Structure 1
């Protein structure tokens, strides 16, 4: 007689779950009694997030993992199997941004955005989505941004990475539409998390103008939209308005405007002179305009 293998328990896997919106989404899922697997590099952050999940009513597992490792998705799969779990819902919320001209920011840091915001998200999605389709349930919730609706001078790679997330997610949503599986992209505007400070975006005029949402609010809207099978969730009226304007305005108008709003007078000039923009090309343009 062949012993029947025990059925794996469904889990919500939150990649980048130690802080910010990912941590908030983990708490929302925990409030529904979910088993939550928190994945991130910071063991301290993971411990705190796991405590929140348990307080919200969920069961928590933690996996300290470098998402940039080539075998990250395989190691996550092995961890789940070892604990009798299956990835029912994958939340891809890990990522970072940098403000500054592409010619002045360190190349390695910019390529790191490609590796984390795009490659790691794609790897995790492609690794776990087939199992969801085979089971006919679950799905993927990817963290995008309203930045994904337009090019963004002085945060060029970040905006481009979020455009990828949005495009990739919406295409997959259509591909799996008849399988019982959902792929959703949540595209918030500025959120009151440490991202604004770490990226330097919080010091730019654009991010001072736009209203900031709380991570709990964004998480609730994201989770609700995902559970209802939506393709795209843009939380908040102001973010919806920005997304509409960004999608409607010609690039010849919006791209220079975004560039100006995301540049500060103390930023290094993109021409490579080593001077600030105000001291270098900014002053030249001012002189040409006065001539």
Structure 2
């Protein structure tokens, strides 16, 4: 296999969509830097991908809830002499249930991972990409980014940030050598729903992480700005009326109230949207 000469950094790479991104990018010949909290799982994946595809795979164990997580990751990259050509901000987790029942610290940590670490890594890596004349950034959002989602308030609002942040940068860096993509998957077969006990929270048919990554890489190559993998997910994301917003929020409550009725709040770390 011919190596591309590119190095891709993937957060939340130990399972789910992150692991699929790692496999796909290694298969095309990219060297990898895998970032997650779980070092044993990262090291096992790194050994497998390196042996199978003949690429260099580095691992960095980092808790992305830490306020200085982005700084620590980039300092480690500098210490190892690594430059990043492809950034995949995939790490994230979600919570669902009545807002007053959700843990305060857990909601804070969710925003630190889904929003703060994502924006921080992007900000720290873009200058080097510009200096070298190009780069690619993939931010994993969700179909939840397209409208308010009662019982998923923190999660959907964080993903709305990811979508708008990505599209803003996509427009800003067009013509400057950097491609930016927001990936907005619907319910996906990942560890996200492992301990829920019911799949009512999935709000739709489950897709595969492999299909999500395949769709994302096609869209990235075409510099589309964002992509919603799957026709059903695309329709759900785009066909709901956008105004008035209060009506949209009330409609969304009827869609998501299965979470409340089920009485089982989701609070599961996942390397997926």
TM normalised by structure 1 equals 0.82
Structure 2: distance between partners of 1:78 and 1:106? 31
Match of residue 119 from structure 2: 122
Relative contact order, CA 8 A, sep 6+: which one is greater? Answer: 2
1:61-111, CA deviations, whole angstroms, 9 ceiling, x for partnerless residues? 111112222332233223223333201111000110011011111111111
- Displacement of 1:233 after TM fit? 1.1
Match of residue 192 from structure 1: 189
1:116-152, CA deviations, whole angstroms, 9 ceiling, x for partnerless residues? 1111111111110121122221121000000000000
1:46 aligns with 2:42: yes
Candidates 228, 231, 250, aligned match of 1:234 = 228
Candidates 22, 26, 31, aligned match of 1:35 = 31
What are the within-5 Å matches in structure 2 for residues 1-291 of structure 1? 10-54=6-50, 55-198=52-195, 200=196, 203=198, 205=200, 207-208=202-203, 210-246=204-240, 248=242, 250-263=244-257, 264-267=260-263
Structure 2: distance between partners of 1:63 and 1:180? 27
Structure 1: distance between partners of 2:47 and 2:73? 21
- Greater Rg over alpha carbons, structure: 1
**Given that residues 40 and 46 in structure 1 are in contact (C-alpha distance below 8 angstroms), is that contact kept between their aligned partners in structure 2?**
yes
C-alpha RMSD of the superposition: 2.0
- Displacement of 1:248 after TM fit? 4.4
Of 175-184 and 44-53, deviating more is 44-53
**Given that residues 90 and 140 in structure 1 are in contact (C-alpha distance below 8 angstroms), is that contact kept between their aligned partners in structure 2?**
yes
SS at match of 2:182: strand
Match of residue 269 from structure 2: none
Structure 2: distance between partners of 1:133 and 1:184? 17
SS at match of 1:12: strand
Alignment length, in residue pairs?
257
TM normalised by structure 2 equals 0.87
Structure 2: distance between partners of 1:145 and 1:254? 17
Instruction: Classify 1:107/1:30 alpha carbon distance in 2 versus 1 (closer, same or farther; 3 Å).
Output: same
Structure 1: distance between partners of 2:39 and 2:221? 29
SS at match of 2:95: coil
**Given that residues 206 and 258 in structure 1 are in contact (C-alpha distance below 8 angstroms), is that contact kept between their aligned partners in structure 2?**
no
Structure 2: distance between partners of 1:247 and 1:67? 35
Match of residue 278 from structure 1: none
Moved over 4 A (4+): 247-250
**Given that residues 12 and 89 in structure 1 are in contact (C-alpha distance below 8 angstroms), is that contact kept between their aligned partners in structure 2?**
yes
Instruction: Classify 1:30/1:266 alpha carbon distance in 2 versus 1 (closer, same or farther; 3 Å).
Output: closer
